[in-house]
Amino acid sequence: MDDYIKYIRNLVGHAPIICVGTSVIAKNDSGLVLFQQRSDNGLYSFPGGMCEMGEYTEDTAKRELLEEVGIVADELTLCGVVSGQNNYYQYPNGDEVHNITLVYACNVGPAQAKALSETKAIKWICFDECSTLELSPPTQVMITTLNQEIKNILDNL
């Protein structure tokens, strides 16, 4: 089923739902990490989104990276999973979610990103400087929860 979230929202409105999704930390050849400015809240996040029915999470991550910033990811490394009370979020439109997010990292080489679909702008920055951005709350939870794991994986990509 395509657009599973839209289907569920038609049934439950803005009520809280559990969503399984992915985020991708894309590192380029200069060692910088890609952040997208989201069109829904104007804040910065890693590219990512929700799984469709029957979709492998790795495929979700690759699909979202391509749809949102035009980058093809070949190989993904799982950084970790973020869930729990701190991963509740209410979107600007009123939709409430309890996210279960699989966070992946990948080396995208010299890839050029562009702002597509749900992206207003992009920035490549050093991961250690991400606190200089106005981060979307779910992204802040990912960084806080998996900080050391992300740094270790980025160092080895």
For 9-34, write each residue's pLDDT tens digit: 999 999 999 999 999 999 999 999 99
Are 136 and 101 spatial neighbours (Cβ–Cβ below 8 Å)?
Answer: no
Q: What's the pLDDT band for 4 if we cut at 50, 70, 90?
A: confident
| pLDDT at residue 87 greater than cutoff 80 | yes
Give the tens place of pLDDT for each residue, 67-76: 999 999 989 9
Q: What share of the chain is helix, strand, coil (3-state, %, to 5)?
A: 30, 35, 35
- The rounded percent of the chain whose pLDDT value lies above 90 is 92
Domains of the chain: 4-156 (3.90.79.10)
- pLDDT for 2: 64
